Each structure stands twice: as structure tokens, then as C-alpha cells.
Amino acid sequence: MADREIFRRIHLVLWFAITMLTGVLSGFLTSHSVMLGRYFTWLIESGNYRVFTDTFSVFREATHANVHYNLFLWVSLVIGIIWTIFCFIIKKNRIIALIAGLSSFWVGCVFFSSGFSDAEEAVARGVADEAVRQFFVSWNIPMHTSFAVFYSLCFFLLLLSRCKVIRERVTGSQET
């Protein structure tokens, strides 16, 4: 009985961590889609790429903003993998774990396999040629918006998974 309680608590702590991280990433990507990413695209499309390179690359270097952003992604990936493995061990929330628990894995697969990560880095460092800038502009908003929607759906799934557990406790039934 004590092992069951320990597993329940570990599951809850991991669920809480991945849910919070997914919510934060959903907010990051929504903000990027609504404002920051549109500003970057506008600067490039309006012929003000020099303004972008003269300011953003310096800002990134001085504040390490990309490191802080990437930290959330890496922590989400690690916690998500651990939570997913744990869900399979205890046979709870397996489908949600594959989708939402591994959300940063799926997003990373698309981000890196599409070549957008290289284009974004070249644009942010100010070394992108015209073709790379155009690729960045054409994919920036659609890609980040799709990621924002995906993370928001994953956040919702994670919240629903907890509601299911609470409902089952109230009704006295066992989760399978």
C-alpha cells in the first residue's frame, strides 16, 4: 500500500511539472505568434533587416535570452520523457503521455527536421542570405502558431487527465 502511495505522489509531481512547463511553452509560443514573431517578420519584409541584426543579435548575446527559452524546452523534454515512462510503468494516462508528455519532442522533431532551426539561427545572428530570410519569413508565423496551438491542446489534455483522476476519486472508481 505504501508503494502505491509513493507512485501516486511521484506521478502527481511529474504531472504538475510537465503541465506547468507545457503551459509556459504554450504562452511563449502564443506570444511569439501574436507579437514578437510578427515584429521579426515585419522587420525583414519591410527592408529593415539591418535594424533587426543590429539590435536582436546584440540583445541575445547580452541577455542570453535564447538560453533561457531553450532551458524551458530542454527541461520540458526531460520531464516529459520521465513522466511518459512513468505513465507506462503504472499504466495511467498513456495516450496523453505520448501526445502531451512528449510535446517538446514532437515540436523539436518538426523544428529541426524542417530546417527552420538553422534558418532561425542564421537570421537571429544576422548572417542569413536573402533565400534563408525568405524561408524564415514564410515559415515563422505558421510554424510558431502551429506550435502554440499544439502546446495549448497538450496543456488542455494534461488538465483533463487530472480532472479524470479527481472525478474517479470522488466516485470511488479505479483508474485503468
Give the model's pLDDT for residue 123: 92
Q: Is the pLDDT of residue 176 over 50?
A: no
pLDDT confidence tier of residue 173, bands split at 50, 70 and 90? low
CA quadruple 159, 162, 164, 170: dihedral sign? negative
- Decide if pLDDT at 104 tops 50: yes
Say what the pTM is: 0.88
pLDDT surpasses 90 at 144: yes
At residue 175, the pLDDT reads 47
pLDDT surpassing 90 at residue 107: yes
